[in-house]
């Protein structure tokens, strides 16, 4: 499987490259970065002391010339540009980018009619198993429990709450028959009044080099249930992304999510 990586000089890009180079059934054939990057022209494996013969470039035609798949964990605007090119040139995509607007998510769905792609805010297998646990917990704790989602990430993360936290909120809201846009509380300050029992609260922490911590608190009377996932390495995201690549081998079109990749949801190409 011939794979290109977008954002090749970033933290996630480097983890993806290192992981791909260790897979016997995969080949790194392209490495993309922004114009003006100091890494342009360098071998994509140089950061790990390896020579893979793939130069980092900013030109899509060059970087995707031999690619069957593009893995993209960058920014929404760049991802959508890559998506348009891939749709025209028969390249399947795995998208871990977060921070998409509702309109941009609709654009992803539209491209799913023309090509095969997986888009998920978190591709860790452990996180997606946690999503199933949250669905079960929400259904059983639907009365008498206040729900709060606490997430923490490194100081460089630009969107808040994290895409994973928002997905957790969506999973819980759906299990409860609520609309997260109506019940989500994303900020508290001053005299806020008593807590609305139907609300789902979010708290965001940014600092240091925290890779990603998420905890959902179900606070009842006399007890608390906490369901947590904590990442100690980005390799879990990289391994999940490569699992998505293998999944896409068998699909010519459709927008899929990680729950479908793992077999937790039907393949309705949603």
Q: For 67-117, write each residue's pLDDT tens digit.
A: 999 999 999 999 999 999 999 999 999 999 988 999 999 999 999 999 999
The confidence score (pLDDT) of residue 97 equals: 94
Which class in CATH covers the domain with range 125-231? alpha beta
The confidence score (pLDDT) of residue 99 equals: 87
pLDDT class for 210, splitting at 50, 70, 90? very high
pLDDT class for 270, splitting at 50, 70, 90? very low
Q: Do domains 2-119+234-261 and 125-231 have the same CATH topology?
A: no
The structural domains of the chain, with segments of one domain joined by +, span 2-119+234-261, 125-231
pLDDT class for 265, splitting at 50, 70, 90? confident
pLDDT class for 19, splitting at 50, 70, 90? very high
Report the pLDDT averaged over residues 57-66: 97
Report the pLDDT averaged over residues 235-255: 96
pLDDT at 204 over 60: yes
Report the pLDDT averaged over residues 10-26: 96
pLDDT class for 269, splitting at 50, 70, 90? very low
Quick one: how many helices (H) and strands (E) in the chain?
9, 12
Contact 91, 114 (CB under 8 A): no
Contact 37, 96 (CB under 8 A): no
pTM of the full predicted structure? 0.82
Q: Are strands 212-219 and 146-153 parallel, antiparallel or unpaired?
A: antiparallel
Q: Does domain 2-119+234-261 have CATH number 3.40.50.720?
A: yes
What letter does residue 49 receive in the DSSP assignment? T
Phi-psi region of 254 (alpha: psi -120 to 50; beta: other; left: phi over 0): left
Q: What is the mean pLDDT of the chain?
A: 95
The confidence score (pLDDT) of residue 252 equals: 95
pLDDT class for 121, splitting at 50, 70, 90? confident
**Residues noted as catalytic:** 153, 157
């Amino acid at each position: 499987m011939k794979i290109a990586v977008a954002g090749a000089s970033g933290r996630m890009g480097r983890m993806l490259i290192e992981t791909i180079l260790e897979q016997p059934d995969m080949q790194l054939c392209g490495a993309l970065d922004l114009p003006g990057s100091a890494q342009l022209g360098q071998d994509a494996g140089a950061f790990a002391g390896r020579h893979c013969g793939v130069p980092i470039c900013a030109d899509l035609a060059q970087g995707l010339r031999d690619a069957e798949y593009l893995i993209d964990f960058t920014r929404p605007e760049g991802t959508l540009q890559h998506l348009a090119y891939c749709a025209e040139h028969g390249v399947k995509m795995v998208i871990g980018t977060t921070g998409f607007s509702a309109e941009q998510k609709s654009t992803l769905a539209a491209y799913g009619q023309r090509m095969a792609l997986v888009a998920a805010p978190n591709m860790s297998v452990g996180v997606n198993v946690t999503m199933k646990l949250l669905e079960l917990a929400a259904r059983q704790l639907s009365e008498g429990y206040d729900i709060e989602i606490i997430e923490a990430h490194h100081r460089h993360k630009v969107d808040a709450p994290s895409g994973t936290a928002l997905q957790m909120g969506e999973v819980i809201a759906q299990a409860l028959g609520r609309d997260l846009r109506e019940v989500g509380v994303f900020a508290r300050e001053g005299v806020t009044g008593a807590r609305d029992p139907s609300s789902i609260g979010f708290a965001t922490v940014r600092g240091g080099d925290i890779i990603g911590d998420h905890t959902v608190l179900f606070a009842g009377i006399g007890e608390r249930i906490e369901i947590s996932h904590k990442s100690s390495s980005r390799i879990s995201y990289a391994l999940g992304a490569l699992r998505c690549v293998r999944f896409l081998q068998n699909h010519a079109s459709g927008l899929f999510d990680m729950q479908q990749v793992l077999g937790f949801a039907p393949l309705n190409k949603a």
